[in-house]
Chain A
Amino acid sequence: MVRRTRGRGVGERLAAGQAPSAALADHLGERAAERAAARRVDPARFPGRLHDERVAAVLGAALGITFITCFLTGLYSHFAQHPLDLGFLSMPASPAWLYRFTQGLHVAAGIAAIPLLLAKLWTIYPLLFVMPPVRSPAHLVERIALIPLVAGGLFQLFTGLANTAHWYVWSFSFPVAHYWTAWLVIGGLIVHIGAKWVTTRRALGSEGRSRPEPDGDGLSRRAFFGAVATAVGAVTVLSVGQTFRPLRRVSLLAPRDPGVGPQGLPINKTAAGARVTTIARDPQYALVVNGRVATPLRLTLADLQSLPQHTASLPIACVEGWSAGATWTGVRVRDLLAMAGADANAEVIVHSLQPRGSYRSSRLNEAHAAHGDTLLALRVRGEELHIDHGFPARLIAPNRPGVQQTKWVGRLEVV
């Protein structure tokens, strides 16, 4: 350490030719160091030996990985639903399983982060009471940035988990708040990584690994990691079966079972909930294809059934983290577009018969509209669609969030 002079005031430092900001910083830093030496975090107040740098670093690294995974998969989901109007960034139609994988991972990583975050906060809890509360301008910035990181992290995990169970105890918009709070957390995380980079590298490296554990009883460092890892495993196994079918019978706390529902598929919005029961069963039903087309079409259900049928095996992958695959049969959207004389690079807005609601239409970009597995499905698993799955016709397309697989389709508007 360079700073050896004790008790120099800011004035003396300025007189010695230091810049004012540096003089103030040095002064504060030195004062703080003196006070810290006098009243440092008293280990006797938190005698547990796990309030340790290496424990914090290992849990922090694991937590960082889960948070960054949630952030990236969350961004992918956000832009799948709110596409940027930039051609090269538009969502691809293949691989078909991509969204199912990223959104399942998003929810699983968030659930895995619950024990990690709480264990990490417990480990560093003594630092909440560190004396003096602020040692330097940098320390002040670091501590302020912990508020969005910790508060935002708890907020994201709670609201995300509650959303998987449709538990809405708040009056803000979940998708909007969850999206912007994610940026808040990532901003706090960037500051935190900058503050802890050197410490974490030391604690994770060979020096930190070989340093003996502090004395004490209770769980050892290694056993604590084992317990937290077991907790992560337990919450994962108890929930991930909502998207990972082989575990569906052991996921006792999953809000969905991918095998439970009419025709063996779960439902998010029922026909009654969408108020389409009467209109969807209307024998006068006809699909309209219009917009930028040479010949607008009007096709009854019998007309649709007489067109060439195509079968595709595609998942319904909900933003809430559950997913279920099925074989769907119906008319290719691109065949309908060709019949109507639409351009080869057409995009389509798919309108539901649903009179109200925020998800009653969705947009097919060029890649999705042209894909051979993008169907106006009439059947699932060999049966006529159940009304809750979108009878008489629903959209099903590869690599797409479930809310965009529009049900009870009444009109394809070519744009």
Chain B
Amino acid sequence: MDERPAPRLGEDEVGGRLFWVAAAVGLGVIAFALIGLLNDPRAGSLTNWATFLIGGLLLHDGLFAPLVVSLGLVGWFVLPRRLRPAFQATLIVAGSVVLLSIPVIGRWGELPGNPTLLPRDYGAGLAVALGVVAIGGLIAVLRAARRPAPPPGPPDRGGW
């Protein structure tokens, strides 16, 4: 029986022959990509490309992820313990649906004279989709609330 404690996230040391071979190949492919892009005459604005590339990373790591973590923290304070999983799951699904809707709901791509592009009422579509998700979430919350209270477990550590 393995007596060692469970490894923590990211605790393994990186290295070994497999890693260095993969690193050499991967960095070669990255160099190929950068050289290819820099030498592509049809590329358009490369500073704009770099802005989107790095901007997306900063937006995720600096804004989106902290917001999600904060939301988790609020949920931990506000919600009764046994309802938290249902709320978390509902928000994961609803959040994904909202992200998917962003490009179509703004209708920024609309072309005059071409009603076949963006043919639907996406506000209504998003409302219906979120309504279905909310019903599913509500069912999960009600089922969790009706379940008998769990036995006193290990210390409460939050779920964010």
In Å, the complex CA distance between A177 and B51 comes to 12
Contact across chains for B88 and A218 when beta carbons are under 8 A apart? yes
- B81 partner residues in chain A, CB cutoff 8 A: 217
Contact across chains for B9 and A190 when beta carbons are under 8 A apart? no
Contact across chains for B68 and A122 when beta carbons are under 8 A apart? yes
- B18 partner residues in chain A, CB cutoff 8 A: 194, 197-198
Which of the four size classes fits the interface of chain A? 35 or more
- Min Cβ gap A401→B in Å is 17
Contact across chains for A167 and B154 when beta carbons are under 8 A apart? no
- B88 partner residues in chain A, CB cutoff 8 A: 218-219, 224, 227
Which partner residue on chain B sits nearest A3 by CB separation? B13
- Residue of B52, B82, B97 touching A235 (CB-CB under 8 A): B97
Contact across chains for A158 and B56 when beta carbons are under 8 A apart? yes
- Min Cβ gap A367→B in Å is 27
Q: Does A191 contact B (CB under 8 A)?
A: yes
- Residue of B53, B69, B72, B124 touching A152 (CB-CB under 8 A): B53
Which of A111-119, A325-333, A391-399 interfaces with chain B? A111-119
Which of A46-54, A87-95, A289-297 interfaces with chain B? A46-54
Contact across chains for A150 and B57 when beta carbons are under 8 A apart? yes
Q: Does A238 contact B (CB under 8 A)?
A: yes
In Å, the complex CA distance between A214 and B120 comes to 45
- B84 partner residues in chain A, CB cutoff 8 A: 217-219
Which partner residue on chain A sits nearest B99 by CB separation? A114
List which A122-163 residues lie within 8 A (CB) of chain B: 122-128, 130, 135-136, 138-139, 141-142, 145, 147-148, 150-152, 154-155, 158-159, 161-162
Q: Does B147 contact A (CB under 8 A)?
A: no
Contact across chains for A255 and B109 when beta carbons are under 8 A apart? yes
- Min Cβ gap A326→B in Å is 14
Given contacts A150-B57, A167-B103, A267-B114, contact A194 B26 (CB under 8 A): yes
- Min Cβ gap B153→A in Å is 7
- Residue of A187, A238, A273 touching B33 (CB-CB under 8 A): A187
In Å, the complex CA distance between A146 and B13 comes to 16
In Å, the complex CA distance between A122 and B76 comes to 17
- B48 partner residues in chain A, CB cutoff 8 A: 170-172
Q: Does A309 contact B (CB under 8 A)?
A: no
Contact across chains for A151 and B56 when beta carbons are under 8 A apart? yes
Which partner residue on chain B sits nearest A158 by CB separation? B56
- B7 partner residues in chain A, CB cutoff 8 A: 53, 199, 202
- B72 partner residues in chain A, CB cutoff 8 A: 48, 218
- Residue of B57, B95, B133 touching A154 (CB-CB under 8 A): B57
Task: Give me the 8 closest cross-chain CB pairs, A-B, nearest first.
Answer: A194-B22, A218-B159, A166-B109, A252-B125, A187-B29, A190-B26, A191-B26, A187-B30
Chain A contacts to B: CB under 8 angstroms: 29, 40-41, 43, 46-53, 56, 111, 114-115, 118-119, 121-128, 130, 135-136, 138-139, 141-142, 145, 147-148, 150-152, 154-155, 158-159, 161-162, 164-173, 176-177, 180-184, 186-195, 197-199, 202, 207, 211, 214-220, 223-224, 226-228, 230-232, 234-235, 238-239, 252-257, 260-262, 265-268, 270, 272-273, 388
